[in-house]
Structure 1
């Protein structure tokens, strides 16, 4: 039997597999009963919706202007071509060929690396603990926007302090180090209530307003995922397309504001000297990786519901280009408004945008909207866009966990998807409670940095090594040929074997070498919280070596035979082990 046929999915030849003697060894998820996308567009919108998230709106514009403006597009494009897009294509091809989730797939690739699947699921849970809270913040802003005068416009509210200074467009107002804008006090004091927390030492009680918002978010998530891709594939027609309508509306409005040209010029003006800074290349690599999202198991899960001969190569190119162009477009949307704010404040653009985190979306941009004509309308559509951007990514992240676990335990969970999804959503909601406290923003920052930071990069690095070097680039390319009818070119093979793993190793090493102090607002995280963060990161990654040891211990035979079995796809390794044992037993 050839290597290509030995790893082909079961549903390629359903009639033959129905009577094959080893049919019981194949996962139930790989039969014709597996769900499939109702339409090709459902899949494309789901992938685009996952890749295009809140980070495209705040992180890319900020990193771009901080790292050389238009010049940053050079390292960004290079990193996309030789790192992000090849890994993106690899995951889509793996998911579509093997038609199973992030855990079970390793039986058919390299069993000793099965711990990668468990690590991905744990990382997915950590992301759900904080990411949905950010969507809940946006929902609270959305609700607060339904008023004639936006509540973050003035300093005449119960939550404001004597430091509140509404200086927007006023030349006779003095600003000092203690001054706070109405938008900042609305976010920090009214929405977060962070003034009532004493850092992570004492996070305070729950914010019931945010609790209700998060509960509503998880209700939407549950009823979008409970029936599988047939329901989520319909929801993304709204959640994945609405942000583009809103982005174009906000772009047109922003371009007509006074001073918008200052923001655009600052955004795209090339600073060629920045290209000699290693940090710029690190930022470009990290941005394209987290933007496209390989390693989270989402692409494996979404592609596993495709027909076997679907053109995943074309899908990878289309969705990658759409994602990168969306990031670039978002930069214009953000910086036209920042230019307007700089004009009204009579300051430089770099003095307006000082934070690449959520503050840009919850303080800076809302402040600009509050001082526009038609502020209520633009606030409503802006925060509606944020909600839909976040929901798409949540759908993808949780579907990766659902698919991985259900494919691993089909006999237990195969007929109980609704109950399993309900249990998973309940776990995610419970895990998010600490982010709903007065100091919840500190917890969000900690989980964002350590829960899905370096650990996910290390996971996808091992994934690339396992596929290219252990499963074998020749076998993988044969799999692609059996689906698409053509053998991947030298560019793809070189990227998978050498360039993409080097790209990931570059990010990992650089992130360990450059570790600035972790801060949020004026709070500097104490050392013990950093230690907790490392434990959070290790709690997911540790499953990879743990499973390796477990697999080697419980596999029968000599150490050489065990290694041979553990690094080969199970159906191939089983045949090799049988032959080896027969030769050993022969007289």
Structure 2
């Protein structure tokens, strides 16, 4: 929670600073069309912004140092959030692995991959990776994750888990945002990105095809694993019932500690009785024998 809030705050603050500097540059140059002031892509950071700082009347070097230090802090914050999510996913799948070993391997791979972005063609590589490997993939996975988390696992169960872990009752505002506002907004952004996105112009057609293959490689595991889980259900069930059984949590779902697991199961059972065994998710009830561990 602290990492996500800090990363969001620093990103918003940095965005406000960048666009205020762009406005200052427009005033100094007398140019009202910002597209003629701003360089596209990474040029905004490494060309436009230094040009604006150089026009400062007082201590421009100090502001230049502060700006690039801000970039460093933003990079550290973003990397922390990204690496943490990857490490957590690996630890969940392979709990026997040491945390520092996972971090070391991921950091080494990331550092090695970074050499691609300091080559003579680095600006094109950055545009290519950002367009195909970041923008579309991130938005698509975000929509899928929100759909699974809020509509399949269920907002009501999320709130119950928060109540069990933290003893906090979730307000109606959070419930509405999780179930409706956030998924719909992200889905609209994804559709608009597909409709209005401008692919990099300085890249050969073959690389655009490769970019869509990269996108497909990142997205296809979702439907493939979903189909695998559905096919693992008893064949005598209808398709709809097989989907519901595949989507329900395992009976082992919950805290790893056995004592906490018992308390968690009792808490969920009591909550279901209090709510009349109703849930915001049609896939709420746990199955002991039909779900598969992916």
Report the TM range for the smaller structure's normalisation: 0.7 to 0.9
CA contact (8 A) 2:150 2:179 kept: yes
The change in CA–CA distance for 1:445 and 1:543 in structure 2 (over 3 A counts) is: same
Partner SS state of residue 508, structure 1: helix
Query: Which residue does 1:575 correspond to in 2?
Result: 288
2:60 matches 1:382? no
The change in CA–CA distance for 1:511 and 1:479 in structure 2 (over 3 A counts) is: same
Q: TM-score, normalised by structure 1?
A: 0.39
2:229 matches 1:551? yes
1:540 aligned residue (199, 213, 218): 218
CA contact (8 A) 1:461 1:505 kept: yes
The change in CA–CA distance for 1:487 and 1:558 in structure 2 (over 3 A counts) is: farther
Q: Tell me how far apart the structure 2 counterparts of residues 517 and 346 of structure 1 sit (CA, whole Å).
A: 31
Partner SS state of residue 569, structure 1: coil
Deviations 1:263-292 (A, max 9, x none): xxxxxxxxxxxxxxxxxxxxxxxxxxxxxx
Q: Tell me how far apart the structure 2 counterparts of residues 540 and 534 of structure 1 sit (CA, whole Å).
A: 10
CA contact (8 A) 2:234 2:290 kept: no
Query: Which residue does 1:482 correspond to in 2?
Result: 164
Q: Tell me how far apart the structure 2 counterparts of residues 335 and 533 of structure 1 sit (CA, whole Å).
A: 30
Partner SS state of residue 288, structure 2: helix
Q: Tell me how far apart the structure 1 counterparts of residues 76 and 30 of structure 2 sit (CA, whole Å).
A: 37
Q: Tell me how far apart the structure 2 counterparts of residues 419 and 338 of structure 1 sit (CA, whole Å).
A: 43
The change in CA–CA distance for 1:388 and 1:498 in structure 2 (over 3 A counts) is: closer
Deviations 1:66-121 (A, max 9, x none): xxxxxxxxxxxxxxxxxxxxxxxxxxxxxxxxxxxxxxxxxxxxxxxxxxxxxxxx
Shift of 1:350: 2.8
Query: Which residue does 2:4 correspond to in 1?
Result: 47
CA contact (8 A) 2:132 2:215 kept: yes
Shift of 1:340: 4.4
Asked which structure has the greater RCO (Cα within 8 Å, sep 6+), the reply is: 1
Query: Which residue does 1:341 correspond to in 2?
Result: 25
For residues 6-85 of structure 1, what are the structure 2 equivalents within 5 Å?
A: 44=2, 46-52=3-9, 56=11
The change in CA–CA distance for 1:569 and 1:374 in structure 2 (over 3 A counts) is: same
Shift of 1:420: 2.4
Deviations 1:210-234 (A, max 9, x none): xxxxxxxxxxxxxxxxxxxxxxxxx
The change in CA–CA distance for 1:569 and 1:381 in structure 2 (over 3 A counts) is: same
Query: Which residue does 2:177 correspond to in 1?
Result: 495
The change in CA–CA distance for 1:348 and 1:458 in structure 2 (over 3 A counts) is: closer
Q: RMSD across aligned C-alpha pairs, in angstroms? A: 2.9
2:140 matches 1:458? yes
Which structure 2 segments of 5+ residues have no match? 252-284
2:34 aligned residue (325, 336, 350): 350
Task: Give the total of aligned pairs.
Answer: 255
2:80 matches 1:395? yes
CA contact (8 A) 1:471 1:568 kept: yes
The change in CA–CA distance for 1:567 and 1:517 in structure 2 (over 3 A counts) is: closer
Q: Tell me how far apart the structure 1 counterparts of residues 237 and 118 of structure 2 sit (CA, whole Å).
A: 50
For residues 390-539 of structure 1, what are the structure 2 equivalents within 5 Å?
A: 390-411=75-96, 413=97, 416-485=98-167, 487-519=169-201, 524-539=202-217
Q: Tell me how far apart the structure 1 counterparts of residues 219 and 109 of structure 2 sit (CA, whole Å).
A: 20
Q: Tell me how far apart the structure 1 counterparts of residues 80 and 30 of structure 2 sit (CA, whole Å).
A: 42
Shift of 1:366: 0.9
Shift of 1:569: 0.5
Q: TM-score, normalised by structure 2?
A: 0.74
Q: Tell me how far apart the structure 2 counterparts of residues 556 and 336 of structure 1 sit (CA, whole Å).
A: 61
Q: Tell me how far apart the structure 2 counterparts of residues 492 and 346 of structure 1 sit (CA, whole Å).
A: 45
Q: Tell me how far apart the structure 2 counterparts of residues 351 and 516 of structure 1 sit (CA, whole Å).
A: 15
Query: Which residue does 1:74 correspond to in 2?
Result: none
